[in-house]
Structure 1
Amino acid sequence: MKLFRHPPVVTSLKPSNHPYLTGAWTPLHEEVDAEDLEVIEGVVPTDIAGIYVRNTENQVHQPLGRHHPFDGDAMLHRIEFSNGRVRYGNRFVRTRCFAAEQEAGESLWGGLADPVSTAKRPGFGAHGAIKDSASTDVVVHAGKILATFYQCGEAYQIDPDTLEDLGVAPWAPIDGVSAHCKVDETTGELLFFNYSKHPPYMHYGVVGADGRLKSYVPVALPGPRLPHDMAFTEHYSILNDLPTFWDERLLERDIHAVRFHDSLPSRFAVIPRHGGAEDIRWFEAAPCYALHFVNAYEDGDEIVVDGYFQEEPTPGPLAEGAVAGHEHLMAYLDMHSFKSRLHRWRFNLRTGETVEQRLSDRIVEFGMMNARHAGKPYRYVYSVTAKPGWFLFNGFVKHDLLTGETTELMLEEGRYASEAPFAPRIGAVDEDDGYLISFVIDENRGTSECILVDAKDLAAGPVCRIALPHKISSGTHAVWADRSVVDTGRAD
């Protein structure tokens, strides 16, 4: 392995027994570039070309208060596949908050679970008192990686080949950009939303393939809400107003406590992709919360949206298996506590009716699909399973939406995966002709690796395992971008 280490970052983090600062969540502070990685098992395929990028949470400084795993600083891990060769690199995202804390040598903001008064400086995003870490999501658009924060941060651009910091996206509005921007590979457009504590409480925007803002539309809500994701079809975008949001009475005292208002319906806004506020149509559905949507498409008069329906969005503290003092935190991060299952909503544009359907009884989340079918009818969803009581992924489930069948690949105890995007084979014809790709943290050996799994045969296990030069920390989202997508919009 050829390895180059970059100068270390400044850290004030102390040893801890916090469940999300240890084990698979142990922060990584090392930045490297590596080539000629060791292939532990199998052969690296020659029929894919592109990059896999994962965003991870890495707390750099000693927390000012209670620590939530989503407080950690963003570190992107990138691995490139080209003609059977692989190249790896990782970098912190140099947000303004990261730079400020590096200069100060300490934390300047509290975390998601801390009172507003904890912050030493004014905060960012919808919450208003926490740092913009850009550590939630990652996509590739207009020839750049885009890292975003779920509480609506500034949206940071990174070079997809060098991981060089390119600063805040020039089109990003003052109210920020939420995680889960959507890239339509057919048009090259990026669709995004944001939310805040002031009217109209939400906006929806479209950025062209050239990286320029094309539209920015107010979406009026009854009050502050906590939308986390959106969906799109060929002609429409779908936003949401779900009844899991900050307690309004406590919010008046600047206390950000999330409540499930189960007496309110879920509401979905359907807007033409390039439409205005006057074009929005609202549809009501059963009360729930949905962190993530997989895909949406048009079916005659209907908009079909698939995502993960949470039956108990605000669960009680874990009764068993939790680290003492962290019972409530661990429950809120546990799929088995909030009970997320693959679900379908149908919104009839002619009648205004909503029809709902459970697609699977499995407790799963973080679904991926073949991005070439985004916004269009599709057949396969690839979800992850989780270790009960923990925010750690321990397996993959392939859902065949045509037959209802599922197949799975479970990891051995102590091995934890990343969100696993679909990487199409070069020249692929079938929707599932390609690989699932994931980084795996092996707590048994204290290592990390990249695995590729044949999407047609999950049960067969990895077709190859590639050793990474260090053990990475866990995190949330990841993306695969074909080489053609990476190169789109880049200067010659």
Structure 2
Amino acid sequence: MSARMTHRVRSSLQPCEHPYLSGAWTPVFEEWLDDDCPVTGEIPRDLDGVYLRNTENPVQQPLGRYHPFDGDGMLCGLRLHNGCAAFRNRFVRTRGFVNEQDVGRALWSGIAEMPPLSDRPGWGAHGALKDASSTDVCVFGGRAYTSFYQCGELYGCDPVSLEPSGAVGWGGAFPRAGISAHALPDPQTEELLWFSYSREAPFMHCGATSLGGEVTHQREVPLPGPRLPHAMMFTPRWYVLNDFPLFWDAELLQRKLFAARLHDLPSRFALVPRASAPHGGRADDIRWFEASPTYVLHYVQAREEGDEVILDGYRQRCPSPPPLAGAPREHARMMAFLDLHSLQPQLWRWRFNLRTGQTREGALDDAVCEFGCVHVAHPQQAARYVYSMLGEPGWFLFNGLDKLDLRSGTRETLAFGPGVFGSEVRFVPRRAARSEDDGWLITLVTDVNRNLSEGRIYAAQNLRAGPLARIRLPLRIPSGTHACWADAAALQVPAPNARF
């Protein structure tokens, strides 16, 4: 085999029974490279690109209580070409990660520790957390970029070798508050769209950055106070942002206690003009729409249709669940806020009428699912199929995937098997696709029974047939969250004069 360990990071973490430091979430400290992964089955030769997945992998012994979102960012890359597969994993070299490697211990406490025990000032909206850049990953302008859910820097790397290029600067125009996870490339305009939030008025910003690293549009989105948005969407004319009633308790926040509470308020969605708005913008050209109270982590698609902007996402039926029954008492509340079956997200549609200012909303399906994707050939096209992850009851783990046909209401589901947990699936169309679902679904799975991990490729039109290919990885990786796919044509390195 060609697999070899290239580096082992310095760790002070001690083995323990914490539910998110053991089992499928057991951390690893090695970086591996395998140029010729063993394959069972056959990798479709049409697949030419890279599947990238980010996750939280803690390296240092926690300062106080540990939450899985505290872990250091670790990228896994599966390069597919000509029926072969290569794998690499590498930690994201954030400033915080490097500082802790230098001293050999944790310098920042996590989100569950109140008040924070951090030895140094932190990043982002919280202000005392390490920017682990562990939440999301996207490919833009030939580079992969990782980001953090509570805002921070945007870290670049080569999407194949994962060789780091450091935090972006955007010619000195990178937002002072950082940016949130879920920045979105717009292939039509060749821009990276992003948003940020903070504890300082106006509390939210959004903007766009060109392929050359120039911030071409940036503006304020005033909110009544600090909020906790997680994701955004866009259409050709609008950024789609939100103001949900689940946010930090204002009185506790004054005592540096970052406790999220569900407030008696409606949900609000902001439609913010894109390039047509003047630089900086005005508060009165943002269109606000009210909707039923909830919280949404992720969306799957947005489009314009006549006088309406239509948004599909996973609306939580119970955004503030009670402690998880049967869980260890010290972890029960945390585990409930990580469990899909406690939060009960369902696929939902909001329709914002630009003429009347009214919102129509309703369920597209009743199944508990999240972390979805669609395939559309054009941004204004409505996707027929939504591919979502299914949750292991009581855990932040994905035990299968779901394909929902929005036209017929029918579905096809796939279970990975007992003790096997996957990562966010990505759809890749066949080159000469004859239908919207003519292509493949790719994920990485961790099998706790056999202590190994695999890449898996499924035919999107026939999930029940099982994987077309199982790609053995050189190490067992911890369970992961967000992922992206980039075709080979998108892997080109930007010009030397780019300002990133």
Query: Fold conserved (TM > 0.5)?
Result: yes
The corresponding residue for 2:265 is 264
How far apart in 2 are the matches of 1:20 and 1:144?
30
Percent identical residues: 51
What displacement does 1:441 show?
Answer: 0.3
How far apart in 1 are the matches of 2:379 and 2:257?
38
Matching residue's letter, 2:268: R
* Equivalent of 1:253 in 252, 255, 259: 255
The corresponding residue for 1:283 is 289
Does residue 18 of the first structure (1) align with residue 55 of the second (2)?
no
Does residue 306 of the first structure (1) align with residue 307 of the second (2)?
no
Q: Structure 2 length normalisation: TM-score?
A: 0.95
How far apart in 2 are the matches of 1:373 and 1:437?
22
* Equivalent of 1:404 in 406, 409, 413: 409
How far apart in 2 are the matches of 1:430 and 1:170?
41
SS in 2 for 1:99: helix
SS in 2 for 1:73: coil
Bigger shift: residues 455-464 or 137-146: 455-464
The corresponding residue for 2:244 is 242
Within-5 A mapping of 1:344-363: 344-363=349-368
How far apart in 1 are the matches of 2:39 and 2:378?
31
What displacement does 1:169 show?
Answer: 1.4
What displacement does 1:485 show?
Answer: 2.1
How far apart in 1 are the matches of 2:273 and 2:381?
15
What displacement does 1:375 show?
Answer: 5.4
Structure 1: 5+ residue runs without aligned partners?
none
Matching residue's letter, 1:280: I
Within-5 A mapping of 1:335-414: 335-370=340-375, 372-374=377-379, 376-414=381-419
Matching residue's letter, 1:318: L
Structure-2 change in CA distance of 1:47 and 1:481 (3 Å):
same
The corresponding residue for 1:458 is 463
Within-5 A mapping of 1:89-488: 89-171=88-170, 172-261=174-263, 263-274=264-275, 275=277, 276-278=281-283, 279-320=285-326, 322-370=327-375, 372-374=377-379, 376-487=381-492
What displacement does 1:491 show?
Answer: 5.9
What displacement does 1:210 show?
Answer: 2.7
8 A contact 1:382–1:397 mirrored in 2:
yes
Structure 2: 5+ residue runs without aligned partners?
none
SS in 1 for 2:7: coil
Matching residue's letter, 1:231: M
8 A contact 2:143–2:493 mirrored in 1:
no
8 A contact 2:376–2:382 mirrored in 1:
no
Structure-2 change in CA distance of 1:148 and 1:375 (3 Å):
farther
Cα RMSD between the aligned structures?
1.4
Bigger shift: residues 67-76 or 185-194: 185-194
Bigger shift: residues 360-369 or 423-432: 423-432
SS in 1 for 2:56: strand
What displacement does 1:234 show?
Answer: 2.0
The corresponding residue for 2:2 is 2
Bigger shift: residues 159-168 or 387-396: 159-168
Bigger shift: residues 453-462 or 46-55: 453-462
Matching residue's letter, 1:32: W
Bigger shift: residues 271-280 or 295-304: 271-280
How far apart in 1 are the matches of 2:487 and 2:409?
29
How far apart in 2 are the matches of 1:113 and 1:123?
15
How far apart in 1 are the matches of 2:495 and 2:391?
37
Matching residue's letter, 1:203: H
SS in 1 for 2:240: strand
How far apart in 2 are the matches of 1:271 and 1:85?
44
What displacement does 1:371 show?
Answer: 5.9
How far apart in 2 are the matches of 1:295 and 1:127?
29
Bigger shift: residues 405-414 or 426-435: 426-435
Matching residue's letter, 2:424: E
How far apart in 1 are the matches of 2:212 and 2:259?
40
How far apart in 2 are the matches of 1:7 and 1:450?
22
Q: Deviations over 1:340-394 (max 9, x none)?
A: 0000000001111100010111000001112644454221110001110000000
The corresponding residue for 2:63 is 64
Bigger shift: residues 422-431 or 165-174: 422-431
What displacement does 1:188 show?
Answer: 2.0
SS in 2 for 1:462: coil
The corresponding residue for 1:74 is 73
Matching residue's letter, 1:381: V
Bigger shift: residues 427-436 or 279-288: 427-436
8 A contact 2:309–2:351 mirrored in 1:
yes
